[in-house]
Amino acid sequence: MNWMGFIFAAILCLYQYQVATGEGEEESLQEHNRLRSLHGCPALKLSASLSKGCAEYAQELAENEKFEHSDHQGKYGENLYYTSSDPKKCVQDWYDEIKDYDFNKPEFSAKTGHFTAVVWKSSTEMGHGQAKSKSGNTYVVARYTPAGNMAGQFEKNVPRVVGHSGAGINDVRIGLLASIFILMHILL
């Protein structure tokens, strides 16, 4: 095989799959930490080894066009995301599961597992990786250590929004809008 053909084939493979090692890591970390701060949870640190594993697994998902959790056997927590549009909104989409989380009955639910992994208080590190498939879909993998979503530990690891006693997140938004409306009425 001539060298030009080899180089062309290599570039074509990279174009088709776009392994995005490092792509989106900082944005993901910042968004995780912004949302965690709402709950008084400490900031996560980015782990190069977790991110490497995330990028490799995202590449595997993209190459095979499959969407399933890795066989991590509890070594870390894992969130997955699949989209044909902007992968930057994955962390917010995971967090938005808060609307279904019952802080009065803190436990695991398949409807809220992404949210609880994002804010899990005892997790200290995270990794992020993403890859684009040849069909144009993006696969995002986030991993957390120590792993979250552990039975019996939800009450201490999934705190309410700071300064929030018990109303749902929609109640907070409505209260905020009402306060803004009243303030505008007074000022105008």
Q: What is the pLDDT of residues 117-144, one digit of tens each?
A: 999 999 999 999 999 999 999 999 999 9
Q: Which pLDDT score is estimated for 113? A: 98
pLDDT score of 177 more than 80: no
pLDDT tens across 8-20, in order? 444 434 433 344 4
pLDDT of residue 76: 96
What pLDDT was estimated at residue 8?
Answer: 40
pLDDT at residue 73, rounded to an integer: 80
The CATH number of domain 13-187 is 3.10.20.30: no
Q: Exposure pattern of 137-175 as b/e (b: 16+ CB <10 Å)? A: bbbbbbbbbebbbeeebbeebbbbbeebeeeebeeeeee
Give the per-residue pLDDT at 67.
93
| pLDDT tens profile 26-40 | 999 999 999 999 999
Q: Would the pLDDT of 22 be above 80?
A: no
**Mean pLDDT confidence for 165-184:** 55
